Amino acid sequence: MPTIKSLDDLKRIREEALAKRKAKTTSGQVQITVAMGTCGIAAGARDTMKAILETIAEKNLEGIIVTQTGCIGLCEREPIVQITVGDQPKVTYGKVTPEVARRILEEHVLKGQVVQDHVVPL
């Protein structure tokens, strides 16, 4: 990692990160974010994460980034998974068990059909 020695260094790093992210969204890349705070993990987010990674491996899916984030404040709906496809708006899913995660990959990520019954309206 580069060492920051001035505000300009910081700005450069930020611009690079921004460019990287732009490249991701314009190429239609899929980003899957699993909320992994303690509440999420307690509700089974690790199993959900595992199911997502396994399904991606099983089906040899490419161009998908899986990341984690903290609690978004809806502890009751955990595990929460957010999907962004390219530059489309982010879709937030609640109560995503491993089975639901597989369905989301199958229907939303592969076929572009949002799994309505698990969407959390924000």
Partner 1 sequence: MKMIRSMVLVSGDSLSLERGAEQVLQALQNEIQAFGLSDEVSVMMIGDVGRHDALPMVIVYPEAAVYGPVRPEDVHYLVEEHLYKGRIANDLLAPVRELSGRIAWVAARKGTLPAEQRIVLRRVGLINPDDIEEYILHDGYTALGKVLTEMTPNEVIEEIKKSGLRGRGGAGFPTGAKWSFVAREKSAKKYIICNADESEPGTFKDRIILEGDPHSIIEAMAIAGYAVGADEGYIYVRGEYLLAQERLRRAIEQAREMGFLGKNIFGTDFSFDIHIHTGAGAYICGEETALIESIEGKRGQPRSRPPFPTTYGLWGKPTVVNNVETLANVPPIVLNGADWYRRFGTPSSPGTKVYTILGNVNVTGVIEVPMGITLREVINIYAKGMKGGAAFKLAQTGGSSGSLIPASLQDTPMDFDSYAKAGVALGSGALLICDENTCVVDLVKVLMNFFRKESCGKCNPCRIGTQRAYEIMCAIAEGRGKMEDLDQLLWLSENMYLLSNCGLGQTAGTPIKDMLKHFRAEVEAHIALHVCPTGVCKIKAFA
Residue number with CB closer to partner 1 (42 or 110) = 42
Residues touching partner 1: how many (CB under 8 A)? 30
DSSP of 24-80: HHHTT-EEEEEE-SHHHHHTTHHHHHHHHHHHHHHTT--SEEEEEE---S-GGG-S-
Whether the CB-CB separation of 56 and 66 falls below 8 Å is answered with yes
Residue number with CB closer to partner 1 (46 or 103) = 46
Does 2 help bind partner 1 (rule: CB under 8 A)?
A: yes
Residue number with CB closer to partner 1 (27 or 69) = 69
Structure tokens, 47:
């199993």
Whether the CB-CB separation of 35 and 78 falls below 8 Å is answered with yes
Does 6 help bind partner 1 (rule: CB under 8 A)?
A: yes
Stretch that binds partner 1, among 44-52, 68-76, 93-101, 103-111 (CB under 8 A): 68-76
74 closest CA partner among 27, 14, 121: 121
Does 13 help bind partner 1 (rule: CB under 8 A)?
A: yes
Q: Kindly state the smallest distance separating residue 115's Cβ from partner 1, in Å.
A: 20
Residues that bind partner 1 (CB under 8 A): 1-7, 10, 13-14, 17-18, 21, 33, 35-38, 41, 67-76, 122
